[in-house]
Amino acid sequence: MKVLLFLVLFTLIFSCKKKEEQLTIAVGGTPEEIRYWSQIIEEFEKKEGIEVKILRQPADTDLRRHGLAVSLSAKEKDPDVFLMDIAWVGFFIKSGWLEKLRDIDSSPFIEKVLFVDKKGEDLYALPLFVDCGLLYYRKDLLEKYNCSVPSTWEQLLECSLKVQRQERKRDPKFYAFVWQGAQYEGLMCVFLEFSTSAGGSLDDLDSAANLKALSFMRDLIRVYAISPPNTYTEMKEEEVRRFFQAGKALFERNWSYAWILHNMENSPVKGKVGIAPLPAFKGGKRASCLGGWHVGISAFSDKKEEALKLLKFLVSYETQKKLALNLGWNPSRRDVYEDKELLKKFPQIKKIKEACEYAIPRPSVSYYIQMSEVIRPYINAVLAGRLNPLEALTKAQRELNLLERTYR
């Protein structure tokens, strides 16, 4: 009996201790991405002998931020390490949630994305990959209907109308163009792209250029009907990706991660997809929202030394190369783009890099999240047909003015 009691106590103590020694990392994304993360983490565990628990988060950036903010504002020890959207790194630094990173050589990283990780000379995070909005298209359908890859939105519309009319005979649920229109951060990215390519910006919301951009977005759904009606209720990255992947669309606006998934063994569009930079309005300039995810360490972590080892491992040349090859994530280190094996196995990286030359950042003000939360309901209400574009932009601008007064 005594022996049994001893064994039970021993097991209890041992398992509690084991748990305490675990490092926790919060990552989100598609099931395929999370599956690959387990492999990466296992490699780290073997290399460093440090046990790591993966805290699985959803794919939606807003939900991921909310999830982390709950733990961080309560100063919880876990997660020790987490990924952050480029759009909210500044907010996390300002909130005091990130541990300052010391003894790190940040010179291999692309300057254009690294700036968000710094406050003055201090470094608080490192970029894991660079994202930008891309146009995916069906090569076979463009060829069949004699369309070229569109460089303007007007061309995209013209070809979409032609193809949709014909393809509907085969599939009544075919829609030519899918993009992110649900009310969340992804919609801000799409709006920024249309706005910039019409000559507008988020600094002057109720401008004629923005009016043109927003009217066009609405008309894609409500007038030309080449984008599905659930664009403004449901369409986030994954909904859009799955729709296109099922072979039900001609064009798709999405991020770099979609490429590998579209070309998976069981994908109905495998081998039929092309990548191009997003079009511009006629006479305007191309624009692609600068996205991407960064890694940081919690200021409340009780395993900062181990956490730093994990962070260094994740942003290393080798891991970034693996993430590019297996998940299609665009490296944030300049040197990885020179990798011969990567270029051979993943030649599309060149196309992605080319499209990313048009990348434009979201406003780098510390209250960007609040700004986005003001603007997106108005944009979404226009897509839903509840407000007209002028009314929506005027009201949003008025609210933004108040917000700016509060934060400046």
Contact 327, 263 (CB under 8 A): no
Smallest separation (angstroms) from ligand GLC to the CB of 59 = 8
Rank residues 60 and 167 by Cβ distance to ligand GLC and give the closer one: 60
User: Both tokens of residue 112?
Assistant: 């254009």
Say which DSSP state 298 is in.
B
Q: How far is the CB of 1 from ligand GLC (least distance, A)?
A: 57
Report the largest interatomic distance among the alpha carbons of the chain, rounded to a whole angstrom. 85
Q: Which residue has the tokens 């952050």?
A: 84
Minimum distance of ligand GLC from residue 145's CB (angstroms): 30
Closest approach, Cβ 236 to ligand GLC, in A, equals 7
Q: Which chain residues interact with ligand GLC by CB under 6 A?
A: 61, 85-87, 131, 185-186, 189, 237, 255, 291-293
Residue 9 in contact with residue 296, Cβ under 8 Å?
Answer: no
Residue placing its CB nearer to ligand GLC in the complex, 86 or 114: 86
Considering the complex, state which of residue 197 and residue 330 has its C-beta at the smaller distance from ligand GLC.
Answer: 330
The minimum distance between CB 129 and ligand GLC, in angstroms, equals 8
Q: Name the residue nearer to ligand GLC (CB basis): 80 or 131.
A: 131
Residue 224, classified by CB atoms within 10 Å of its CB into exposed (0-12), middle (13-18) or buried (19+), is middle
62: closest CA among 233, 237, 312? 237
Task: Report the C-alpha gap between 250 and 28 in whole angstroms.
Answer: 28
Q: Which is nearer to ligand GLC, 175 or 255 (CB)?
A: 255
Q: CA-to-CA distance for 23 and 298, rounded, in angstroms?
A: 11
β strands within 263-320, DSSP E: 273-276, 288-297
Cβ at position 130, least distance to ligand GLC in Å: 9
CA distance 193 to 356: 12
Pick 284 or 291: Cβ nearer ligand GLC? 291
**In angstroms, how far is the first alpha carbon of the chain from the final one?**
70
Token couple for 332: 């944030």
**Lookup result for tokens 């030649």:** 347
Is residue 139 within 8 Å of 117, Cβ to Cβ? no
Taking the least distance from each CB to ligand GLC, the nearer of 131 and 167 is: 131
Nearer to ligand GLC, 78 or 185 (CB): 185
In whole angstroms, the minimum distance from the beta carbon of 271 to ligand GLC comes to: 25
- CA angle, corner 162, sides to 176 and 194, nearest 5? 50
Q: Are 19 and 46 in contact (CB under 8 A)?
A: no
Closest approach of ligand GLC to the CB of residue 43, in Å: 24
Least distance (Å) from ligand GLC to the CB of residue 290? 7
> Is the CB of 23 or the CB of 240 nearer to ligand GLC?
240
Contact call for residues 355 and 162 (beta carbons, < 8 A)? no
Q: Please, what is the Cα angle at 293 between 290 and 298, to 5 degrees?
A: 140
In this complex, which beta carbon is closest to ligand GLC, that of residue 300 or of residue 378? 378
Of 166, 96, 82, the C-alpha closest to 126 is 82
Question: In this chain, which residue has its C-beta nearest to ligand GLC?
Answer: 291
Residue 24 — φ and ψ, nearest 5°?
Answer: -120, 135
Q: How far is the CB of 361 from ligand GLC (least distance, A)?
A: 10
Residue 111 carries which side chain, given as an amino acid letter? E
